Structure 1
Amino acid sequence: MSAHRPIHFARRAFAGKEVGRGPTHFNLAYEITWVQQGHIQFDLGHSVVDAVAGTCIVLPGDMENTPVGRAAVLHQLWLPTFWLEEAADALGPRASAPQVAAVLPADSRVTALTRVVMEEVGSGLDASDPGMGALMDSLLYSLVRERAPEVLHRRQDVRIRRALERIALEYANPLRVEDLASAAGMCRYSFLRAFRASVGESPYQYLLGYRLERAAERLRKAKGVSVLETALECGFGDPGRFARAFRARFGCSPREYRARHGN
């Protein structure tokens, strides 16, 4: 499985306040999308897959879909079906390539590996590098093994979308559950239940993850900004708490992350 494979990937951005619709198309391969920022829908005709920042969307080949997004940044990777079939054959009868569209949570192994692959490709690591080959093997094996709970074809509550949009605009500011519930036009209790049902995690967990993803992005791109400034600009008033949360999500300190991934 470690032979050199050409990697086909793209970074896509939906900017501004207007909803953008990508072209309706069929995938000729498995399409793996890591949502770096914002939220995105894939209209499958009979249903909708809806994902938020930090999560990963898996769309099988030969599936017609239309991307719909606003203020979203996506990283997409295309994997030929026979790669997954080879990985499943190598693992035995209990492994199989995914057959349905799914959204995998931020703590899924597939999501973590997809993010790392995208970061390594973005840093210039060639597909022929042995390290990239090992990463791709791990991703393929994880895809055919993946048994984590999947969020399938779920239509997102428009009220929750308003709360997510407020987070995207004001994540650096102090945001309480009451503020987000107000944006959604709901009482606190109903909002908490509806948010978890729609997004798959609590508002606090989502906001924390969103802030950490923005901090990681700044560490990669903003060379002249210190780790402390990054923490403050992304909504973390306590540098120690920021460092602990960052390590829990990315497996290293903010300084180590910048050293590895900074351009």
Structure 2
Amino acid sequence: MDNKSAAPAAQTTTSHAVPGAPCWVSLMTRDLEEAHDFYGRVLGWRFRPARLGDEFSVAMVDGKPVAGIGALAHALQVAVAWTPYFAVRDADETAGRIRERSGTIAVGPLTFTSGRGALAADRDGAVFGIWEGELFAGWGTWRDEAPASLRLRTRDAFEAAIFYGQVLEWASDKPGACEVEYANEEVLLRCGGQILARLSSGALEAAADPTVRPRWQVIFTVPDVDEAAKVAVKLGGTIMEEQKTSLGEEITLRDTEGGLFTVAPRSMAVRP
């Protein structure tokens, strides 16, 4: 590789620079082609191949990456679900901290071409991922423009903040660590000046309704929330929850394979 082609690599952001920050969201599905059709028509996404292999793709809006989709639910024996990933310095050490604090490691850590990752669940059963290694090109834009945002709906937001703080080194003295704030009975995660996630209390572990159980809620912005919901239903999806929040109207949908996601208006700020 010549010096000219090697230059961009020096600017690659790695998980070591932003420990504990949300760094990606990804859908584990069974049928990649069906997922492309559903989300392309509901959310207006286009897709390009991912570096991780043929079973992965990256969703794009206006030429910018939004989320990942991987046809791995069968292979990894996991439920079809949207999952947030958090940057960590060392995937193995983080996995150990998760187990020590009564969390669960479901898959991994596994080694990929650009890093190592694992799927985990916190003490209340909310599923999340950890990632050690290179972050995708354009991660800074993804963080700042927030095409996807996160809300943890959990039993007790303050207890959850302690768990994640210890596991992901939030509010620590480590360089680049995220900060935690408490406002309006929520816990806010601020990284690099941006609020990247909210933690809210009130979820019920044994609830029959999956939208009420502890889970990480992945929220995508769209030009028209009602239109996105109509298209989803027409394609076989289901409206699970409609609510007015301080940040605007949100509709939670279930795709044709059971994956839950939420749409919010692009004209409204999903986070302050």
TM-score by length of 2: 0.28
Q: Which has the higher strand share?
A: 2
Q: Which has the higher helix share?
A: 1
Larger Rg: 1
